[in-house]
Copies of this chain bind each other. A is one copy, B any other.
């Protein structure tokens, strides 16, 4: 409710025509039918739709809201993402999350740290990326989260600490993994004409791409790439009529540190295999040439699965509004979000401008 209320400070609830709510799994909270639960909590009757595509559910809600606005049937749409992951015994959490993988991957006992560890191993083999490169991503995201009051962790960590942390699935260690989180995020999306009623400086959604491909890692030709991310980014760039070099700030889906690295390459911030150089150069730090995850990312801001894709948009909007305070990226005119589901089966890439 807090997230909804914060999103509705400028637009009153009666002006909202439809709501999209993103949530990954009813098994955490023993609750499906979130549209009706939300109607109860808000005391309303409206068109409310839950969408799910694993950890990309939040981005998917944004995309469906965009399509709905394009239909001309609605003026203002509330987009909410939510997940409460701590309601079940911690031993059950990995099993519930693993439902975003393929049935045979699940049957054989795979968990997501394992799947992304395979991607990391191959990336190391092909391109010479190392555990230290990944550690630097974790250190940066924890550093950024120090300035985000909504982050789950406010804890500075060092490369040595990351490297010394327990292996979860080699080469990924505890500090390479995003945490178990409870959280929610909400935004309002309005048609351009309508947005002017509520604000003089709306942030514009100028491009969005959505692609879904194979759920199994083992069916992909090259597991150092996520084809859905490549396709979604291309669609978003085409719609926005900008290129990767135009992006001033990005929120990428760092469920694991390797995921942030692969996205940097798949989106085109650098060539394939060259992500490690951006990391070594500090390019993805807040004062670098392409700041990534100024919010602290999934790693340190937290990863409440269904909320994450919406939360990324909240951060980019704050950055483009120059309201990100101590974590503000200088001269942020164009921002990008990349939200990924499963081991890259689903991707939504969105691009915003002032």
Q: Which residues of B contact A32 (CB under 8 A)?
A: 24-25, 52, 54, 99-100
Enumerate chain B residues within 8 angstroms of A46, measured Cβ to Cβ. 211-212
A30 part of interface (Cβ distance < 8 Å):
yes
Whether A342 sits at the interface, judged by CB under 8 Å, is yes
- Write the A323-349 contact mask toward B (1 if CB under 8 angstroms, else 0): 000000000000000000110011000
CA distance in complex: A101, B40 (Å): 11
Chain B residues with Cβ below 8 Å from A29 are: 103
Main secondary structure of the interface of A (DSSP, over half): mixed
Bits for A195-238, please: 1 = Cβ < 8 Å to B, else 0. Answer: 00000000000000011111110010000000110010000000
Expressed in whole angstroms, the Cα–Cα distance for A39 and B53 within the complex equals 12
Q: How many residues of A contact B (CB 8 A)?
A: 58
A214-B35 in contact (CB<8A): no
Q: How many whole Å from A335's CB to the nearest CB in chain B?
A: 22
In the complex, what distance in Å separates the CA atom of A338 from the CA atom of B36?
17
Check if A1 is an interface residue, CB within 8 A of chain B: no
CB-based contact B40/A102 at 8 Å: yes
Instruction: Determine if A36 and B49 form an interchain contact, defined as CB atoms under 8 angstroms apart.
Output: no
Flag if B68 contacts A53 (CB, 8 Å): no
Give the chain B neighbours of A47 by CB distance below 8 A: 63, 210-212
Complexed CA–CA distance, A64 and B228 (Å) = 22
Copies in the complex: 2
Contact B60 A49 (CB under 8 A): yes
Kindly identify, within residues 71 to 127 of chain A, every residue whose CB is under 8 Å from any CB belonging to chain B.
Answer: 71-73, 99-103, 106
Say yes or no for A51: interface residue by CB 8 A criterion. Answer: yes
| Measured CA separation A227–B36 after assembly (Å) | 12
What is the bound-complex CA distance between A227 and B27, given in angstroms?
28
A70 within 8 A of B: yes
Contact A99 B227 (CB under 8 A): no
A31 in contact (CB, < 8 A):
yes
Contact with A39, one of B45, B50, B54, B214 (Cβ below 8 angstroms): B214
Decide if A37 is an interface residue (CB 8 Å cutoff).
yes
Give A52 Cβ to nearest chain B Cβ, in Å: 5
Interface status of A48 (Cβ within 8 A of chain B): yes
Q: Which residues of B are found within 8 Å of A38, using beta-carbon distances?
A: 212
Flag whether A26 is at the interface (Cβ < 8 A). yes
Contact call B345/A33, Cβ cutoff below 8 A? yes
Which residues of B are found within 8 Å of A45, using beta-carbon distances?
211-213, 227-228, 231
Which chain B residue has the least Cβ–Cβ distance from A37? B215
A168 within 8 A of B: no
A210 and chain B: residue at smallest CB distance: B47
The answer to whether A106 and B30 touch across the interface, beta carbons within 8 angstroms, is yes
Contact call B31/A103, Cβ cutoff below 8 A: yes
- Asked whether any CB of chain B lies closer than 8 Å to the CB of A67, the reply is yes
25 A-B pairs with C-beta separation under 8 A: A25-B32, A26-B26, A26-B99, A29-B103, A30-B99, A31-B99, A31-B106, A33-B100, A33-B101, A35-B53, A35-B212, A36-B54, A36-B212, A39-B213, A39-B214, A40-B213, A40-B345, A45-B213, A45-B227, A45-B231, A46-B211, A47-B63, A49-B210, A68-B71, A70-B72
Closest 4 CB pairs of A and B: A36-B345, A70-B71, A36-B215, A33-B54
